């Protein structure tokens, strides 16, 4: 942390030094030009050091004022949305400040005549014009670079979250249970064993095909969840029930892959399932704005465990696509409400 702040201070001090140096050189050049255009000679430093110093101080003062004014203008008018307006307002306002300041310095400090004063004002107007062009270009480039970095960080975080859900789906424990179920079915019901293997293949195909997808269609996720629940129902001897009641209008909406599966998995993980304790999972819609995943509550397998890891994963993934929050209700039944994500209505598009 100390090294981080030290690097920031070094960078800020370096930028300040370059600004002071640039303003000082510019002030000296302007004074040399005015003196040379009037007398045909370069002013000697030992004879005109006071005027050199005054030109340096006045130019640095102007540079400081322009930076403060531009900082305020950036809050009122955004370069991104109103580039031309921001440039014109900045040029007119800063140009007026430059002319006013140079008029005072030229007339009362340098004691220049009207012709030299006019030249000085024109020089600073041109300098402000060039400054505003470079300032707008730099500000836009910096905004673009920051946005690109933020997008890369966002994509990386999304991949990390999807990787966590992927690990949950293909964990060794899950594979072990599936293989054990297949082994027992081969001798009891070969037809059911064949169906189990096919559904198991469907689940892994879905995971592999969508491991890098940010969003999938709700109907695709439901097909996957049905296959996944079929595997669990065979394992728990049909004491797990899945009921889906969703309108067709929502089937083409989008959802983060494995979101529904993680909620079903959590329901199975944290509830006891047996003949005496059947577990029912309901997937329904609320006002076509939210998808409700509700499960009955049986005797908890381990009361100390919680749903936080899986829910946090889902919450964080939804933050990339909508401002609507994932809602959790833990009453007589456990419910999670997922906001409906429609095509072309993600959080990024809505902000634009």
Give the strand pairing for 240-245 and 279-286.
Answer: parallel
Angle among Cα 62, 64, 67 to the nearest 5 degrees reads 110
Q: How confident is the model at residue 275 (pLDDT cuts 50, 70, 90)?
A: confident
The strand order across the sheet containing 290-295 reads 240-245, 279-286, 290-295, 334-339, 327-330
Which string of DSSP letters, residue by residue, matches 99-154?
HHHHHHHHHHTS---HHHHHHHHHHHHHHHHHHHHHHHHHHHHHHHHHHHHHHHHH
pTM as predicted: 0.55
Average pLDDT for 268-286: 90
Domains recognised in the chain with CATH numbers: 2-151 (no CATH), 170-351 (3.30.565.10)
Q: How confident is the model at residue 250 (pLDDT cuts 50, 70, 90)?
A: very high
Model confidence pLDDT, tens digit, residues 300-313: 765 545 556 678 87
Q: Which of 11-20, 131-140, 189-198 has the lowest mean pLDDT?
A: 11-20
Q: Which of 21-30, 33-42, 126-135 has the lowest mean pLDDT?
A: 33-42
Q: Is the backbone of residue 235 left (phi > 0), alpha (psi -120 to 50) or beta? A: alpha
Rounded CA-CA distance 203/226 in Å is: 9
Which residues have a Cβ under 8 Å from the Cβ of 160 and sit 6 or more positions away? Answer: none
Q: Which of 17-31, 64-78, 137-151, 209-223 has the lowest mean pLDDT?
A: 137-151
Average pLDDT for 231-245: 90
Rounded CA-CA distance 55/191 in Å is: 94
């Amino acid at each position: 942390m100390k090294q981080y702040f030290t690097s920031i201070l070094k960078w800020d001090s370096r930028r300040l030094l370059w600004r002071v140096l640039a303003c000082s050189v510019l002030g000296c050049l302007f004074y040399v030009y005015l003196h040379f255009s009037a007398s045909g000679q370069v002013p000697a430093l030992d004879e005109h050091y006071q005027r050199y110093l005054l030109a340096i101080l006045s130019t640095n003062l102007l540079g400081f004022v322009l930076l403060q004014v531009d900082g305020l203008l950036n809050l009122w008018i955004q370069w991104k949305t109103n580039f031309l307006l921001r440039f014109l307002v900045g040029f007119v306002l800063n140009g007026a400040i430059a002319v006013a300041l140079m008029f005072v310095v030229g007339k009362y400090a340098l004691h220049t005549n009207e012709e030299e004063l006019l030249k000085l004002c024109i020089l600073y107007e041109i300098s402000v014009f060039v400054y505003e062009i470079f300032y707008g270009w730099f500000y836009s480039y910096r905004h673009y670079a920051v946005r690109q970095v933020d997008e890369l960080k966002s994509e990386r975080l999304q991949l990390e979250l999807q990787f966590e859900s992927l690990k949950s789906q293909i964990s060794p424990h899950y594979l072990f249970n599936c293989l054990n179920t297949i082994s027992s079915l081969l001798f009891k019901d070969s037809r059911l064993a064949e169906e189990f293997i096919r559904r198991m293949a469907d689940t892994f195909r879905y995971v592999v095909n969508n491991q890098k997808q940010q969003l999938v269609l709700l109907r695709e996720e439901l097909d996957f969840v049905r296959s996944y629940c079929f595997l669990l129902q065979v394992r728990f001897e049909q004491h797990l029930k899945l009921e889906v009641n969703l309108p067709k209008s929502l089937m083409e909406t989008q959802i983060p892959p494995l979101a529904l599966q993680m909620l079903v998995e959590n329901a199975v993980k944290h509830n006891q399932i047996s003949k005496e304790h059947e577990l029912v999972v309901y997937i329904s819609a609320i006002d076509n704005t939210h998808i409700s995943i509700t499960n009955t509550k049986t005797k908890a397998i381990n009361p100390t465990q919680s749903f936080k890891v899986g829910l946090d994963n889902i919450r964080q993934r939804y933050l990339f696509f909508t401002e609507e929050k994932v809602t959790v209700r833990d009453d007589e039944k456990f419910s999670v409400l997922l906001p409906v994500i429609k095509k072309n209505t993600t959080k990024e598009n809505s902000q634009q």
